[in-house]
Amino acid sequence: MGLLPAAAWGTNTSGADTVLGSATGTTELTKGWTVQSSAVAKETGDQVSLPGYSTAGWLKLSKPETLMAALLENGRYPDIFYSNNLTSVPTAQFDVNWWYRNQLTVHPRPGQHTYLIMNGISGRANLWVNGKKVADQAQLQGSYSQLEYDITSLVTNGSNAIALDVYKNDDSKYLTSGTIDWNPKAPDRNTGLVFAPQLAQDGAISVRDTHVLQDNAKDLSTSDLTVKTNLRNNADTAQTATFAGTISRPGTRIPFAKKVTVPAGKTVTVTVTKADAPGLHIVRPAVWWPYQMGDQPLYHLDSNAFANGERADGYSTDFGIRTVTSYLTKVVPGKTHGPYGYRQFVINGVPFVIRGGGWSPDMFLRYSAQNIADQISYIKNLGLNTLRFEGNFTPDDMLRQMDRAGLLAMEGWQCCDRWEDPSKTWPAELKANAANQAFHVAQMLRDHPSVFTFYHGSDNEPDADKEAIYLTAFTAADWQTPQIASAEYKSSAKLGPSGSKEGPYNYVPPNYWWANGTQTKPTDDDTFTNAGSAYGLDTESSAGNTIPTTNSLNRFLSSADQDKIWDLSSTNGGGSGPDIFHVYKYNNYTKTGRLGQYNTPLWNRYGKWSDLASYQRIAQVGEYEIARAQFEAYLGNSKDEANPSTGLIYWMMNKAWPSLQWNIYGYDFDQSGVYFGTKKAGEPVHVMYGYDDGSIRVANLTNDRQSGLTATAKFIDINGKVQGTSQAAVPALFSQDVRTVLMPKVPAGISKTYFLELTLTRGHAVVSRNVYWLSTKKDDIDWKKTLGEGFGVTYGSGGYADLTGLQNLGKATVKAAAHTRIEGRDAVTTVTIRNVSGDRTPAFFTRADVLRANVSGDNQVLPIQWSDNEVTLWPGQRQTITARYRLSELKGASPLVSLSGWNIGNQTVRAR
């Protein structure tokens, strides 16, 4: 998430009661919470939970949040992420229990029933209401549990109080949220509330577990909908209830109603089908697609239960009509590496390549809807289609935003903590908690069209007993999309082979990803872990470290910290270099506590550096090169008959804090070379180079047929001379198609470091342009020493590719013109860059940034969406790129555009 000021995370509230009306309905208790350590507030729960108990000196919260979020909101530990400030937070303060308290004014009507719904506790807690203990910590635990308590007899007309006695969270003991090795653990271990509790004020009937099932024709020409709900009778006598509502979207309104009798104190499941309401058979439904493949229409369900002539309760939600399936790809005997093939997902009958990243919430689980909207805009700008959630399930708002945006959510349990311990080590209370959390998670996710699968294991498959707990819960919740055993190449008793794999997580050169032959098949590891070349479905993998731009580094690292990044001692192989807190030595497996594994190949492939500026020049180019190759390889190999690539989850998309490791964009919305290399590979219609065989391939990621295209490849030596040109017409490309269109040979006599310029045109229009810097000397991978290892690649005796010729590029001269227009709340800055050099020197890796004029210090405009960036132009060439950002981000200043690059002088132009 971005580096938001305190106001962006929420502001303190007053200590006055939260006032609730007497109308029937469910209210999220987001306001009025206060917290205090039990070392300060030493009274017992029967006292703390009494209305009128004094909370003078307690911390006021803007919404339910973890203890660290509460402390930060109240001004403790400023600049928490700068340098190693995080280590200054005393952790002993969280060893004792803390109180969460809320005081409400409630005016219940006669006959009204009141329920307190607890939506998870990070840790465990005792619950008290108005001086009475309602729940014990043995039951009330788990980040994603949902437990409902009837407090009708405790609620009074007027002030009421809720108090939670919260124990420190511990993901080695409880089924809770955790961040594994992604970042340092929060000092409070994420203890406290994350999802707001709810107060339900119902009539004689409560409506629970309402949802819509869909039975879609294979060609999606029709959809039969079923509305299901549970009606609970809260009264002492049988109730005749009518469950009624509508399903609607623009131009469509489908009413339904069904009358049932619910015995006293019982719950009845009501199922409404097309037999009850013929309109639930929809002809030509509006179909939901991922954003690159179509539109995202949503239907709205509005439902109510009526009893005794009045509305007793109701529920509404949005959903999308779409069909998701999966299968294991065909095994070609003697050629397919995986004995069961690979997991292929299909949406609305169309197989597609998953391209996304792993999701991380803020380190302190703070949530901002605007921050999420900005991140979603980045992911779409990158041309990616999926986020993987390894645990850390988000507030519903994020999934609603993903539904509207057309992004896919790959959900599942996390690894490396209590969730993956054998179920035989779970006591009875933990098994009950697991069942509760599984059912609630399925409920939370099932109606979102963005959610297309669920992984019941991450590094490991669930054992048979655990799998039974999960599958029983998901069946009870009417889950309708594929469930997978493991994110690794493992099998479970019921779900069978996963067809997925994981890793690697550290530096590998571009040709690693493109290798797809027998050398990439592990001989001693049937889980295919750290066999990350582009085949199968890789649920987490990247080349490791991500070096933010210097603008970003200045926001969270001191000069001394920054000097550690480029320290020359980090060029002596894996494990070399100084310790850096913001890389963080999470564990021995990742081996990224030092930058040696990353910097050593950069040093040998690109040449030497002597300071941060010269290092950054190489690091940004190197990041772009690797990220582009990784995503392109998973597209380029997607049609391989024996070992097709079916998807890639880059590890990771974002990070919980400012980091030098595993992220495509920064916590502050920084866009480094990894960002723009990924973006280049994500073009809707894209031309690419195969590092394995030198082929030129074209991909169509849209749902439209692409025709009339021409691909051109130019080999250009380091001095700018065109040494060879190849061109071919591209056959018509259908949706998700990838074709090899050229097999050009590298011209004899070309320089050791050279360029390859690819263009894809339709008539005179450029559809895709892609520039590579290559070497006649290839990276030599020792595959026997590389496969199965988490530290990245081991080089063979042939050594590194030689890209040092880039160091000898002469100075290029560019000119730029920029202007800005206003579109609603956005500003759009257009920049035209021209290479006006007098010789053949390219302007290599030229980057544009939008700045605020006449602002001292940090004047970079973020977040921002570029159409392209870090471009390479030869003399006489020009390219126009655009940037979109919120007008408010200028903060009243005029926009400037700065240009920088590998071999151009820095310059700034006005962009009014």
Q: Catalytic residues, which ones?
A: 459, 540
The span from the CA of 642 to the CA of 87, in Å, is: 50
H or E element at residue 468: helix 464-476
Structure tokens at 208: 């629970």
The span from the CA of 572 to the CA of 591, in Å, is: 14
Exposure of 633 by Cβ count < 10 A (0-12 exposed, 13-18 middle, 19+ buried)? buried
Provide the CA 93 distance to its chain's centre, in angstroms. 32
Cβ atoms 531, 505 nearer than 8 A: no
| DSSP helix, strand, coil percent of the chain (3-state; round to 5) | 20, 35, 45
Beta bridge partners of 538: 501, 648
The span from the CA of 488 to the CA of 501, in Å, is: 4
Cβ atoms 843, 872 nearer than 8 A: yes
- The three-state secondary structure class of 432 is helix
Exposure of 237 by Cβ count < 10 A (0-12 exposed, 13-18 middle, 19+ buried)? exposed
What are the angstrom distances between the C-alpha of 898 and each of 66, 844, 909? Answer: 40, 16, 6
What are the angstrom distances between the C-alpha of 535 and each of 76, 390, 453, 663, 769? Answer: 48, 22, 20, 22, 25
Cβ atoms 714, 696 nearer than 8 A: no
Of 193, 144, 174, the closest CA to residue 431 belongs to 174
The span from the CA of 25 to the CA of 9, in Å, is: 27
88 phi-psi bin (left φ>0, alpha ψ -120 to 50, beta other): alpha
Number of helices followed by number of strands (H, E) in the chain: 14, 48
HSE value, Cβ hemisphere, 13 Å, CA-based, for 80? 23
Cβ atoms 886, 825 nearer than 8 A: yes
What single-letter DSSP state applies at residue 397?
Answer: H
Of 44, 63, 52, 74, the closest CA to residue 192 belongs to 63
Rg of the chain over all Cα atoms, to the nearest angstrom: 29
Residue 274 identity: K
- The three-state secondary structure class of 401 is helix
What single-letter DSSP state applies at residue 139?
Answer: T
Dihedral over Cα of 163, 167, 172, 177: its sign: positive
